[in-house]
Amino acid sequence: MNVTIVNRLTVDGRDYFLPEPVTELKQQILAAIQAGGGYVNIPPLRGGPGIDILFSPGMPVTWSQIDVGGADVAGAADDAPDTAVDDEFGL
């Protein structure tokens, strides 16, 4: 099974989707907040310059992970027997 994890960073109600790894980014955000505020560059999911966000104490920041497994999850349903058709034809 091919599992892809995408990280969602929610800052002040806005969502930013990030690929792994995010450990260094988390440390940069924490350091900016501990310093009383500072800009941190949030990289884009698919290339580009990213966006600079000013983080400050008291700003709501949450992290979550999303499993975007894709085709493997949908393909698993195709392998299951279709019981409605099997019952109808006595199979």
pLDDT band at 4 (very low <50, low <70, confident <90, very high): confident
**Spatial CA neighbour of 18 closest among 52, 41, 40, 46:** 46
Residue 42 counted as domain residue: yes
Quick one: pLDDT at residue 71? 55
| pLDDT for 30 beyond 70 | yes
Residue 31 counted as domain residue: yes
CB 28, CB 40: distance < 8 Å: yes
Enter the pTM of the model: 0.67
Domain count, the chain: 1
Residue 90 counted as domain residue: no
- Full domain range(s) for residue 31: 5-71
pLDDT tens for residues 35-89? 999 999 998 878 788 999 999 999 999 999 988 876 554 444 444 444 444 444 4
Residue 22 counted as domain residue: yes
